[in-house]
Amino acid sequence: MKKILVVEDNEKNMYLICFILKNNKYEVIKATDGEKGLELAIKEKPDLILMDIQLPGIDGMEATRKIREAESGKEVPVIAITSYAMSGDKEKLLKGGCTGYIEKPINIDTLLSEIKKYL
């Protein structure tokens, strides 16, 4: 069973994402801030990370950068989940270390297709 780390501070989004993942037979690890996400990414070595960008403490971009600096985080796919939808934001996130990009509000089909693309 593939293990996915979900880093999301919004309770409703976390519930929705975890519900979708569990119903599609993924093991889910949860973090509600960037620091905990970073810690779990290094400790748990997930197969994929879904990273909210606007987080309390260190944001998703900083957490992704630090994950990429860790030996165990160099290759893990990190998919940004964000409400940032301005021109150039996707490119900025991909250049910052994210592997993929999903816009909020979350579309179930898009979420699953992005995950399958990288696993």
Q: What is the pLDDT of residues 47-89, one digit of tens each?
A: 999 999 999 999 999 999 999 999 888 999 999 998 866 678 8
Q: Where are the alpha helices (DSSP H) in the chain?
A: 11-23, 34-44, 60-69, 89-95, 108-118
pLDDT of residue 41: 97
CATH architecture of 3-112: 3-Layer(aba) Sandwich (3.40)
**pLDDT confidence tier of residue 110, bands split at 50, 70 and 90:** very high
Q: What is the pLDDT of residues 6-54, one digit of tens each?
A: 999 999 999 999 999 999 999 999 999 999 999 999 999 999 999 999 9
Q: Where are the domains of the chain?
A: 3-112
pLDDT of residue 91: 87
Q: What 3-state class would DSSP assign to 43?
A: helix
